[in-house]
């Protein structure tokens, strides 16, 4: 059994469900602990009766330390602050031997078992951003990405996790300050600070818009593969991180703001967007109001427009931005 946890509010409900469904497709023996960060998200997830999931409300999860700092953080900052606490809660409440944290906007194209197994005898595993050369300046926001992180419930693993939780409680903001940025920059020195930390080596774990420019992407024998450009390194893409994917009411689609090839758009983004549409239709059969008012409309308003994006080629001229520009 592989145990995972994730956190999100109703704005990321579709993505969280897509991630769960992608796990179901590629992995039989797993359980995912959903931390629902608003009531609409919690109610919807509970109503779905997901076989391989446990739904946890904020009321169940929040402890006095989190509640004390909550008024000092924005919504996003509070979610970042809570990341190590969701892992801590999962390990303790459910007596887990090991738990892997997942960002809600990652999506599996193959089984993550090979990634979790890479942990070996270590107690913590983290993933690098692996920035493409054109985006290396972004390393100031963290060498490692809080997207797929594994912690064993061992003295060594708990030492790292408790240190991270305490650090985030003290400071976790959406700004660069004194060598810190959110919950992420804290990871920079873990391989040196702690003896039990393994850095994931499999290139298929953590393909993302900030590093996909380094790879040729193609399908072969039903597998989604990547090859390092100018080298012979061939690997299966295990998951992709759909960071900054946005749909706008005026009809524009922003895939990420990073430079993406047509193969990436067609082989990675198109299937994901199509899956989001399918989940939307299923949810609207349960509650037609779920995406149509107030905070619960998420980023999507015109679902016919979303279907049009799926049916037609994702051309670069429909992007809100053609390339990432640092503000």
pLDDT(182) > 70: yes
> Which pLDDT score is estimated for 73?
97
Does residue 326 form part of some domain? no
Of the three residues 145, 170, 202, the one that is the final residue of a domain is 202
Question: How far is residue 257's CA from residue 321's CA, in Å, rounded to a whole number?
Answer: 5
134 and 278 in a single domain? The answer is no
177 and 216 in a single domain? The answer is no
Closest CA to 107 of 251, 247, 257, 279: 279
Query: Per the structure block, which two tokens stand in for 195?
Result: 């003896």
Q: How confident is the model at residue 184 (pLDDT cuts 50, 70, 90)?
A: very high
Does residue 323 form part of some domain? no
Residues 81-117: tens digit of each pLDDT: 999 999 999 999 999 999 999 999 999 999 999 999 9
Mean pLDDT of 136-160: 97
> Which pLDDT score is estimated for 4?
98
Q: Which residue has the higher pLDDT, 295 or 17?
A: 17
183 and 221 in a single domain? The answer is no
Beta-carbon contacts of residue 79 (< 8 Å; ≥ 6 apart): 7, 8, 9, 37
Query: Per the structure block, which two tokens stand in for 101?
Result: 């944290």
Q: Phi then psi for 234, rounded to 5 degrees?
A: -110, 135
Q: What's the CATH code of the domain at 83?
A: 3.90.550.10
Question: How far is residue 47's CA from residue 204's CA, in Å, rounded to a whole number?
Answer: 33
Beta-carbon contacts of residue 137 (< 8 Å; ≥ 6 apart): 326
- The strand pair at 144-152 and 124-128 is best described as antiparallel
Mean pLDDT of 6-31: 96
82 and 158 in a single domain? The answer is yes
> Which pLDDT score is estimated for 251?
60
Does residue 207 form part of some domain? no
> Which pLDDT score is estimated for 136?
94
Q: How confident is the model at residue 253 (pLDDT cuts 50, 70, 90)?
A: confident
* pTM of the complete model: 0.89
233 and 192 in a single domain? The answer is no
Of the three residues 157, 178, 202, the one that is the final residue of a domain is 202
> Which pLDDT score is estimated for 5?
98
pLDDT(315) > 70: no
∠115-121-123 over CA atoms, to 5°? Answer: 75
CB 57 within 8 Å of CB 27: no
Find the helix or strand (DSSP H, E) in which 236 lies: strand 234-236
Closest CA to 82 of 54, 101, 55: 101
Residues 36-76: tens digit of each pLDDT: 999 999 999 999 999 999 999 999 999 999 999 999 999 99
> Which pLDDT score is estimated for 24?
98
Question: How far is residue 107's CA from residue 73's CA, in Å, rounded to a whole number?
Answer: 28
pLDDT(273) > 70: yes
Beta-carbon contacts of residue 42 (< 8 Å; ≥ 6 apart): 36, 55, 57, 58
> Which pLDDT score is estimated for 89?
98
Residues 277-289: tens digit of each pLDDT: 889 888 877 765 6
Question: How far is residue 100's CA from residue 149's CA, in Å, rounded to a whole number?
Answer: 5
Which residues constitute the domain of residue 271?
212-318
> Which pLDDT score is estimated for 291?
54
114 and 186 in a single domain? The answer is yes
pLDDT(23) > 90: yes
> Which pLDDT score is estimated for 166?
98
225 and 81 in a single domain? The answer is no
Does residue 327 form part of some domain? no
């Amino acid at each position: 059994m592989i145990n995972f946890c994730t956190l999100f509010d109703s704005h990321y409900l579709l993505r969280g469900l897509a991630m769960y469904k992608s796990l179901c497709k590629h992995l039989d023996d797993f359980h995912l602990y959903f931390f629902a960060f608003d009531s609409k998200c919690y109610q919807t997830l509970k109503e779905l009766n997901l076989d391989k999931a446990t739904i946890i409300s904020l009321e169940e999860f929040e402890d006095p330390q989190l509640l004390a700092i909550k008024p000092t953080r924005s919504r996003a900052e509070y979610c970042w602050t809570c990341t190590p606490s969701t892992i801590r809660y999962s390990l303790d409440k459910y007596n887990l031997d090991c738990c892997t944290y997942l960002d809600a906007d990652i999506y599996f194209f193959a089984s993550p078992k090979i990634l979790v197994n890479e942990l070996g005898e270590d107690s913590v595993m983290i993933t690098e951003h692996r920035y493409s050369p054109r985006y290396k300046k972004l390393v100031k926001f963290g060498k490692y990405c809080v997207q797929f992180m594994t912690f064993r419930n061992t003295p060594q693993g708990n030492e790292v996790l408790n240190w991270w939780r305490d650090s985030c409680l003290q400071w976790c903001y959406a700004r660069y300050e004194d060598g810190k940025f959110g919950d992420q920059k804290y990871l920079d020195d873990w391989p040196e600070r702690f003896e039990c930390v393994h850095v994931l080596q499999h290139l298929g774990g953590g393909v993302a818009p900030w590093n996909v420019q380094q790879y040729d992407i193609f399908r072969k024998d039903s597998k989604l593969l990547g090859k390092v450009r100018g080298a012979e390194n061939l690997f299966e893409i295990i998951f992709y991180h759909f960071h900054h994917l946005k749909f706008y009411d005026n009809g524009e689609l922003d895939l990420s703001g990073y430079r993406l090839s047509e193969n990436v758009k067609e082989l990675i983004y198109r299937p994901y967007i199509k899956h989001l549409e399918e989940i939307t239709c299923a949810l609207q059969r349960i509650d037609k109001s779920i995406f149509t008012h107030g905070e619960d409309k998420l980023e999507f308003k015109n679902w016919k427009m979303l279907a049009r994006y799926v049916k037609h080629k994702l051309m670069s001229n429909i992007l809100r931005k053609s390339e990432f520009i640092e503000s």
